Amino acid sequence: MSAGLDAAPRTALRARAVPPPRAGRVKRRVRPPRGLKTFEFAMMAPALTVLFVLSWVPFVVLVAMSFAKVRTLGGVSLTFTGADNWSAVLGDGSIWASWARSLVYFVAIVGLEMALGLAVALVLHQLVRARSVVLSVVLLPMFLAPVLVGLLGRFMLDSTIGLYAKILQAVGLGDDLLASPSTALPTIVSIDVWQWTPLVALILLAGLTAVPPSTLEAATVDGAGYFRTLVAIILPQMKPIILVALLVRSMDAIRYFDIVVATTNGGPADATKIIPIKLYEFAFRFNNQLGKAAVLGLTMLVFSIVMARIFLRFFGDRPSVPAGDGGDRG
């Protein structure tokens, strides 16, 4: 293996505090400074303070609301009702159905966006002169707010005046894609894929350009084919960046619902009613059901965390306890 691989990619999440000792180099570090009174923690302090304020209060209130009946008129007031909200939400069949739908939606958009995003990044990476121009164009969809993208999708697919609808009609696919329960979800998935594949592509392109050329050259000398090189050498090197892309998209895929609201509003026949739409209904449409919204919100948070853990396990570095860093819990 080339030297490049020794600089093993690490994410902060799985970061080893120190690299494995390398032969022929003098180590000065014996006991690196640790904890709060360090330069590193001072660097983190301002950002962590801001984040703490912004996340802690809402989180505590969320937990409190999930065990209460919440009234909002004339100021928030909570009447604690034990686990009523939890049992109501967990016992609601339509919420489980919505979770199943959300899972399909989630896997479809994250999977497609990762695959297409990698493809786009690889193509862009091969471009030399036109790369910046093509990149500028490709990035544009993600700068339209999702609510605009949803409306644009409706416009393009409108059976009366839509360009895409007319093209589809011309090739014999005349059915209105958003009208039928079987096609509505795939259509929304493809709108989301159109908007967010550029984001995945941008992240992966940044990762791709950071793969040392020496690695690639070594592979070339070995006579490995392009795809073999890709799978065996390039992708493993990009693991931390793939993780970044995966996490970003999966966090947002489960949170955002603007596109659905702007197109189908959850219909037809609930075919596109994903969990965040249910949550919004409880929080703002229905009367005095913020408690249930809080329960759904917390379950969404749990889902995101479990997803993130799974991705970290598969794409993060193996947990290891390098010598001289016994404090790492691994």
Report which DSSP code applies to 281.
I
Pair 77, 249: CB distance under 8 Å: no
- Give the x/- contact pattern for other proteins in 134-163, rule: CB under 8 A: xxxxxxxxxxxxxxx--xx--xx-xxxxxx
- Binding footprint of other proteins, residue count (CB under 8 A): 167
Separation of alpha carbons 171 and 247, rounded Å: 38
CA 209 → CA 125, 241, 321, distances in Å? 7, 11, 30
Nearer to other proteins, 108 or 219 (CB): 219
Is 40 a binder of other proteins (CB under 8 A)?
Answer: yes
CA atoms within 13 A on the CB side of 119: 7
Binding region for other proteins (CB under 8 A) out of 25-33, 79-87, 99-107: 25-33
Residue 222 CB, shortest distance to other proteins, in Å, is: 10
The phi-psi region of residue 115 (left if phi > 0; otherwise alpha if psi is between -120 and 50; otherwise beta) is alpha
What is the three-class DSSP state of 80? Answer: strand
**9 or 186: whose CB is closer to other proteins?**
9
Cβ proximity to other proteins: between 108 and 184 the closer is 184
From the CB of 88, what's the least distance to other proteins, in Å?
A: 11
For residues 65-84, which are near other proteins according to CB under 8 A? 65, 70, 72-78
Contact call for residue 225 and other proteins (CB under 8 A): yes
Residue linked to tokens 């960046």: 241
Q: Is residue 24 close enough to count as binding other proteins by CB under 8 A? A: no
C-alpha–C-alpha distance, residues 19 and 42, integer Å: 23
The least CB distance from residue 241 to other proteins, in Å, is 7
Sign of the alpha-carbon torsion through 70, 71, 75, 78: negative
Please name the amino acid found at residue 97: A
In degrees and rounded to multiples of 5, residue 180 shows phi and psi of -110, 140
Tell which positions 251-290 bind other proteins, by CB under 8 A. 251, 255-256, 258, 261, 264-271, 276, 279-281, 283-290
Cα–Cα distances (Å) from 251 to 126, 207, 228, 243, 300, in that order, read 30, 20, 31, 12, 10
* Between 108 and 277, CB nearer to other proteins: 277
User: Smallest distance from the beta carbon of 277 to other proteins, in angstroms?
Assistant: 9
In the window 115-134, what residues touch other proteins (CB under 8 A)? 119-120, 123-128, 130-134
Q: Which is nearer to other proteins, 15 or 107 (CB)?
A: 15
Contact status: 322 vs other proteins (CB under 8 A): no
318 binds other proteins (CB under 8 A): no
